[in-house]
Amino acid sequence: MQDKIKFLSQKIDTFTANGSDELEALRIQYLSKKGEITALFNDFRNVPNEQKREIGQLLNVLRDKAQNKINDLKEALESAQVVEKGMDLTRTADPIALGTRHPLSIVKNEIIDIFSRIGFTIAEGPEIEDDWHVFGALNFAPEHPARDMQDTFFIEQHPDVLLRTHTSSVQSRVMTSQKPPIRVLCPGRVYRNEAISYRAHCFFHQVEGLYIDKQVSFADLKQALLYFAKEMFGEHTQIRLRPSYFPFTEPSAEMDISCNLCGGKGCPFCKHTGWVEILGCGMVDPNVLNECGIDSSEYTGYAFGMGVERITNLKYQVKDLRMFSENDVRFLQQFKAAY
């Protein structure tokens, strides 16, 4: 009987089943009332008394082994059938609500997409920067009063290390590492030491652009910004450029667009002027080009920068900047259809 038990044990190791019918046939052949293992138990009474203990243990092990093998094959067949039906076994039983992109991500991606159509590529840099890339390379002298325009977070015990106040630091990195022509877009988060309110925050998001090549003119800048305004806010959008001041551009300008609520006729949103400011721009100052190793007698360029929150406010009329960082699901769900 021991040889028979050993033979059946080896056969059980080779069990396979391609379907429930084959699996049921195996069960009947070995574990049913007339099965081969049941027959061995029926012959157990003929075993000599001195061998009953040993043979009985072997029979129990054999029966359990056959039952476990058949159970494993059954589970494998059921799992295969579930996969074929496209069911995800790892999915939770609770219903999962679909998420949405953040409104700032929606608008940032739209800005990037618009400028990518006219040849701009993405450039990124660190948020923790050194003083030279944030200020020094961009025509901010150590005693320059323009440094007071931005309240900066400096790293304690490291006066030359700070959280970047604008993504222009990425532009200075690009200018020192690449040769013209340069045409890059620099999106990212920036930090300023400001009181948090409905109209200001200690961190926000910018997208800045830089184009440097031979014979780049202010007319090129105006045409690029007009194209952006019409693509972002609609074909009937008009722009105007007002003289302004930035340390790293000369001449500099603030750009307004015709109010997209009243069509330029005047309303409370545009303070009855018909215009809304959206970005700053200008021609790259020759001092910046020279400081970054670019010959200003051969190359010229333009730069512009806008706040993503500002553009988002104009598109979706979000009046409180704090809502962008509070992660209120009710607020975010409003933008499901925005992309």
Closest to 253 (Cα-Cα) out of 226, 274, 272, 227: 226
Q: Does 91 fall in a domain?
A: no
Q: Does 187 fall in a domain?
A: yes
CB atoms under 10 Å from CB of 117, counted, come to 10
The yes-or-no verdict on residue 149 having pLDDT over 70 is no
Q: What is the pLDDT of residue 256?
A: 93
C-alpha 131/C-alpha 238 separation (Å) is 38
**168 and 35 assigned to the same domain:** no
- Percent of the chain at pLDDT exceeding 70: 94
Maximum Cα–Cα distance for the chain, whole Å?
112
pLDDT tier for residue 147 given thresholds of 50, 70 and 90:
low
C-alpha 302/C-alpha 183 separation (Å) is 10
Q: Does 95 fall in a domain?
A: no
Q: Does 119 fall in a domain?
A: yes
Residue 294 domain boundaries: 103-338
**116 and 79 assigned to the same domain:** no
Q: Which amino acid is at 96?
A: I
* Total tally of structural domains belonging to the chain: 2
The encoded tokens of residue 88 equal 């995800």
Domain boundary residue, one of 84, 116, 134:
84
Q: What is the pLDDT of residue 146?
A: 57
The yes-or-no verdict on residue 225 having pLDDT over 90 is yes
Q: What is the pLDDT of residue 55?
A: 79
Q: Does 220 fall in a domain?
A: yes
Give residues with Cβ within 8 angstroms of 202, minimum separation 6. Answer: 191, 192, 193, 194, 196
Q: What is the pLDDT of residue 150?
A: 61
Q: What is the pLDDT of residue 317?
A: 80
**205 and 286 assigned to the same domain:** yes
| Sequential DSSP letters for 72-98 | HHHHHHHHHHHHHTT--TTS-SS----
Closest to 209 (Cα-Cα) out of 218, 223, 221, 197: 221
What is the Cα gyration radius of the chain? 36
Give residues with Cβ within 8 angstroms of 326, minimum separation 6. Answer: none
> 176 or 58: which carries more pLDDT confidence?
176
Mean per-residue pLDDT, 102-110:
92
**61 and 133 assigned to the same domain:** no
Q: Which amino acid is at 8?
A: L
The yes-or-no verdict on residue 76 having pLDDT over 90 is no
The yes-or-no verdict on residue 25 having pLDDT over 80 is yes
Q: What is the pLDDT of residue 89?
A: 67
The DSSP call for residue 192 is -
CATH number at residue 152: 3.30.930.10
Q: What is the pLDDT of residue 262?
A: 76
Q: 53-57, 184-188, 273-277, 334-338 — which is least confidently predicted?
A: 334-338
pLDDT tier for residue 85 given thresholds of 50, 70 and 90:
low
C-alpha 255/C-alpha 136 separation (Å) is 26
pLDDT tier for residue 159 given thresholds of 50, 70 and 90:
confident
**108 and 80 assigned to the same domain:** no
Give the model confidence (pLDDT) of 183-213 as tens digits.
Answer: 999 999 999 888 888 777 888 899 999 999 9
Give the model confidence (pLDDT) of 282-328 as tens digits.
Answer: 999 999 999 999 999 999 999 999 999 989 888 888 878 888 888 88
